Structure 1
């Protein structure tokens, strides 16, 4: 139920900026991916305020994708999984065109809940080995 409250209240602007650093995506790009005007996001981050609405929902969607990526790594038996930075990897992966998305970048779909679901299913396919 905690996630429901976060969805209602929004996420802190500073959280989104921190997410951009951890994913190694410029903050201006993460704001664009999430559909949040840069000036709004910067102002909310500085003031310690929350980003609500579609932008906040999109940020929550990104966190869900991070959870999936981290789970893929945690479930991997490959030796390369040791010390693998799933957050950084996701930041790179969402910016690469994916054939399963008709050549679109996952980042271009993350501003809507449906787009997040499509990308989440694609990540699930990667884990199952159905998509490389």
Structure 2
């Protein structure tokens, strides 16, 4: 999912995040990333404006100007996509979508998607997935 949404490999993204390598020129804008995430997950674009902390009006301006995606936007999209990839690996694509949207008692009765709009929330979901992968929860 990461490569499909951002158009680069995980290794290229990590290098970019760490400042070691410049990404090849890209025509992806912030709006493009949001559209790709929305298409891939069947979630509304408005949800992803929360994930990457960009207002709808700013997103529209970015999309029309084709402003290249920033490191912050790419990082948030990367974190989100990594979590979705993990859930899809564990449950399959269709079941993953339902699992992400369902209220979960191990997350205080809230859905994983509710947490995934912030970095702290994504870390909480990631820790929960770690526990599931280790067999701590059913």
SS at match of 1:125: helix
- Which of residues 51, 54, 59 in structure 2 aligns to 1:41? 59
User: Contact between 1:20 and 1:30, CA under 8 Å: does it hold in 2?
Assistant: yes
Q: What TM-score do the two structures reach when normalised by structure 1?
A: 0.67
Instruction: State the Cα deviation string for residues 6-51 of structure 1 (Å, max 9, x = none).
Output: 5768x74212211111100011122224432112223323433234
Unaligned runs of 5+ in 2: 1-10, 23-27
Q: Which residue of 2 aligns with 1:17?
A: 35
The answer as to 2:115 corresponding to 1:109 is yes
**How many residues are aligned here?**
120
In 2: Cα distance, 1:90 partner to 1:7 partner: 30
Unaligned runs of 5+ in 1: 74-83
Q: Which residue of 2 aligns with 1:32?
A: 50
Distance 1:110 1:67, change over 3 A: same
Computed over aligned residues only, the root mean square deviation of the Cα atoms, in angstroms, reads 3.0
Structure 1 runs (4+) deviating above 6 angstroms are none
The answer as to 2:124 corresponding to 1:118 is yes
Q: What TM-score do the two structures reach when normalised by structure 2?
A: 0.65
